[in-house]
Structure 1
């Protein structure tokens, strides 16, 4: 089964593709089909994920899946939340998409450390909300949510992953997310938890896998 992924993030595409293999799902990034990114006007992950999935499904005339994910920090009242990807303001630069994403990640991490300067409660969690639809008007979207609990470090470590991975320490693993190899991350992450739920939903509702 082919699903359009309502994202152009190549790293997210790779992670989700590996996680959804058991259901026989093949993901294709929406940009490969000329689909522009959807607006994300809502204040919750589930509403934004549903909007993105329906937008992609409508543009391609088929099934789609969207992941709206981010970091929620207790001491910041849940921020950056749905604004995680663009937490810090970044001037538009003449670089390609992936270079721009790397610059944005660095700016986001720097702002997060600044906001938590002097704060002792550094508990946080990564959230991944997956929504899959068979069509743009599917009345029964599949919704799965994964939460990965950790603590925000005082400085970035590791070179793997993306986003806030260098700052997110997972006590249960004794390492920051950016220090984990891909198999370990894919076995424990918020996206892995959500994907496992999604696989169950696909088997039950879509008879996949």
Structure 2
């Protein structure tokens, strides 16, 4: 049986068609000298997210992409959880304003602010769950997560982010996620925290 070692990973397909995610992951993973691709570069379309947790969604997406490409695959499922909305939109963050994947950022944010009308508690957090598998039958995938806490503000500010970033305010630095640079974001974001944990795991395996 072939020994699938993480040392052998030179290429990873990201189970996403989102070029913003590719940009963030490329910056975070640059020290590993690994080439990253989006699944769309292989003609792979969107894979339905029908599970009940972020981790299950990520694992399902990773296996789907690895199976179709024959390459190691990384999948991330993330979302915004708002305390006063019973942690919604949660796993439905990308399609909050509709029952399918056609929701756009503008509609999602409009619905979020509408649902928070008259509510004082604006505490929220972003959560990112990452799964990396070496092959479709990898029974010991690496799984990490990261959380970034903040509050939701009515007025959007900033153009550097995507999703709910213009409304996600970071009290510790006094800015929204969309108004900080990518370098700042890569130090504090939920995705960067989960990615750094993943890099640590890879380094442990490689040593």
Global fold match (TM > 0.5): yes
Matched, 1:2 2:8: no
> Aligned equivalents of 2:105 and 2:41: distance in 1?
23
Q: Give the drift of 1:105.
A: 0.0
Q: Give the drift of 1:71.
A: 0.3
- TM-score (norm. length: structure 1): 0.91
Q: Give the drift of 1:86.
A: 0.6
Matched, 1:175 2:175: yes
Matching of residues 186-201 of structure 1 within 5 Å: 186-201=186-201
Q: 1:78 aligns with which of 80, 83, 87?
A: 87
Q: 1:11 aligns with which of 15, 20, 23?
A: 20
Cα shift readout 1:60-106 (whole Å, capped 9, x = no counterpart) = 012000010110001011100010001002899xxxxxxx77xx100
> Aligned equivalents of 2:94 and 2:161: distance in 1?
14
> Aligned equivalents of 1:107 and 1:34: distance in 2?
27
> Aligned equivalents of 2:131 and 2:143: distance in 1?
5
Look up the match of 1:142: 142
> Aligned equivalents of 1:116 and 1:17: distance in 2?
35
Cα shift readout 1:114-173 (whole Å, capped 9, x = no counterpart) = 000010010000111110000011010000100000000021111111000000000111
The structure 1 segments of at least 4 consecutive aligned residues displaced by more than 4 Å after TM superposition are none
Q: 1:67 aligns with which of 76, 82, 102?
A: 76
Instruction: Provide the aligned length of Structure 1 versus Structure 2.
Output: 198
> Aligned equivalents of 1:173 and 1:58: distance in 2?
42
Look up the match of 1:160: 160
Look up the match of 1:32: 41
Structure 1 pair 30/91, CA: closer, same or farther in 2 (3 Å)? Answer: closer
- 5+ residue gaps in structure 1? 93-99
Q: Give the drift of 1:43.
A: 1.5
Look up the match of 1:131: 131
User: Contact 1:90/1:107 (CA < 8 Å) preserved in 2?
Assistant: no
Tell me the secondary structure at the aligned position of residue 192 of structure 2.
helix
Tell me the secondary structure at the aligned position of residue 74 of structure 2.
strand
- 5+ residue gaps in structure 2? 1-9
- TM-score (norm. length: structure 2): 0.92
> Aligned equivalents of 2:99 and 2:50: distance in 1?
19
